[in-house]
Amino acid sequence: MKNDPLAAAVRDTYDAVHVPAYPAGLVAAKRLARGPRSAPSRGLRFALAGAVGLLAGALFAVLPWPQHDRMVALFARDVIGASRETAVTRTVSLDDARRLARFPVIVPAGVPVDSVRIGADNASVQLVVEPRRGDRVLMVERAADGDDATSNWISGSTSLTVLGESDGTIVQRLRQATAHP
Amino acid sequence: MTDDVRAAQAGDGGARDRVLRAFWPRAYRLAYAVLHQRAAAEDAAQEALIRVDARLNDLRDADAFAVWSARIAVNAGRDAFRRRRAHGALHEAEGAERFEDEAALRLDVSRALAALPAWLREPVILCYLEGFTSAQAGEALGAPAATIRFRLQLARRRLTALLVERSCVSEEHAG
């Protein structure tokens, strides 16, 4: 702090300024007006944001269709084919899908199937398969024109969509997993 | 003070009250330094007090409370100044009030300070009354430290000139 006469004079001047009484009533009234909850701390806000993120991730993983479809449409990356299923679909078991579909539903052998949905006209089936833990692929199948539609799962599918992050080899792993059905 | 700030942020109501009560005279004097009008300074200081109370949990570094709260007080003073000027209630050179019961020196210094524009008065009050460095004053006022040093030097020259006219400060102390 500067200690020359001018600085001292300035300090004296402002020190001599009469300060009104502390407005305790005003502070209390403003607090009441703001409500009983004070603003959360920065750490708490980060924690809340993290919790919301986790919740959103969990919802993405478990939400039933068609919310899932919308998420896929927003974030997924097409690997084969560009068509997307926009028709109304419903969740069914794999057995029901095989029974209801107007074409043979092809399932990659040895690859777990997470969920199955069938189109409203039973003309298409959506399968979410997991060729490896963490890898999830959406397969959309329709009746194929070729005679070999039932002989190869990839020809039975009209599109494959990698769900979530992809290192570019998910479909390759899917092929490898089903190389010897 | 820093411990009280930390305790207040952690939810200690008593510490929060101590922080606010300690801040109040600073808030008033800082607002007064900007406005040089007592009633307006009280309003602005109350506004600053409310803002500090509401935003205290947003302050990351409790050690920075002095600068942070000073910035809030100065800004509240500036806001009040702009409002009053917009309504024609205050002209910068007309803001000084008389200290009827004060010594002549204080009266003259007060008048000299009141004659300064706020942008020169603010660095003076922050550096001389609050004991801020030019960097801290710059942080509080939103200006580079070099700008603060320049304003401080200019303010000293003007104050000295005004006070020398009144023979309050001898020329040997000027500058």
* Nearest neighbour of A9 by CB, restricted to B125, B131, B169: B169
CA–CA min distance A53, chain B (Å):
22
How much is the pLDDT for B23? 92
What CATH code is assigned to B1-90? 1.10.1740.10
Greater model confidence, B152 or A73: B152
DSSP class per residue in B2-69: HHHHHHHHTT-HHHHHHHHHHHHHHHHHHHHHHH--HHHHHHHHHHHHHHHHHHGGG-S-GGGHHHHH
User: What order of strands is seen across the sheet that includes strand A77-80?
Assistant: A77-80, A157-163, A135-142, A124-132, A113-119, A89-92
**Cβ–Cβ gap B57/A5 under 8 Å:** no
ipTM for the assembly: 0.71
* Secondary structure class of A135 (helix, strand, coil): strand
**Cβ–Cβ gap B28/A20 under 8 Å:** yes
- For B:47-106, CB contacts with A below 8 A are 49-50, 53-55, 57-58, 60, 99, 102, 105-106
How much is the pLDDT for A62? 65
- Give the CATH class of B100-175: mainly alpha
- Domain range annotation of chain B: 1-90, 100-175
Q: B131 — contact with chain A (CB < 8 Å)? A: yes
How much is the pLDDT for A30? 75
Q: How many CA atoms lie within 13 A of B122 on its CB side?
A: 27
Write the CB contacts of A161 (distance below 8 Å, at least 6 apart in sequence).
A72, A76, A77, A78, A79, A84, A137, A138, A140
Average pLDDT per consecutive 10 residues, chain B (175 residues; last block may be shorter): 86 89 90 83 89 88 89 88 70 42 57 83 86 88 90 88 63 47
Average pLDDT score over residue span A142-168: 62
**Cβ–Cβ gap B113/A31 under 8 Å:** no
Average pLDDT score over residue span A105-117: 83
On whether the CB atoms of residues B68 and B59 are closer than 8 A, the answer is yes
How much is the pLDDT for B58? 86
Measured in whole angstroms, the distance separating CA B89 from the mean position of its chain's CA atoms is 20
Average pLDDT taken over every residue of chain A = 71
Q: What would the pLDDT profile of A152-163 be if each residue is shown by its tens digit? A: 556 566 677 777
**Cβ–Cβ gap A40/B57 under 8 Å:** yes
Average pLDDT score over residue span A119-136: 81
- Domain B1-90 and domain B100-175, same fold? Reply is no
* Chain A neighbors of B156, CB-CB under 8 A: 6
Average pLDDT score over residue span A37-49: 68
Q: What would the pLDDT profile of A12-42 be if each residue is shown by its tens digit? A: 877 777 888 888 887 777 777 766 545 556 6
How much is the pLDDT for B96? 43
How much is the pLDDT for A29? 78
Q: Which two tokens stand for residue A126?
A: 């959506």
On whether the CB atoms of residues A128 and A163 are closer than 8 A, the answer is yes
Alpha-carbon distance of B103 to B107, in angstroms, equals: 6
* Nearest neighbour of A27 by CB, restricted to B11, B28, B53: B53
- Cβ–Cβ pairs < 8 A, chains A and B: 88
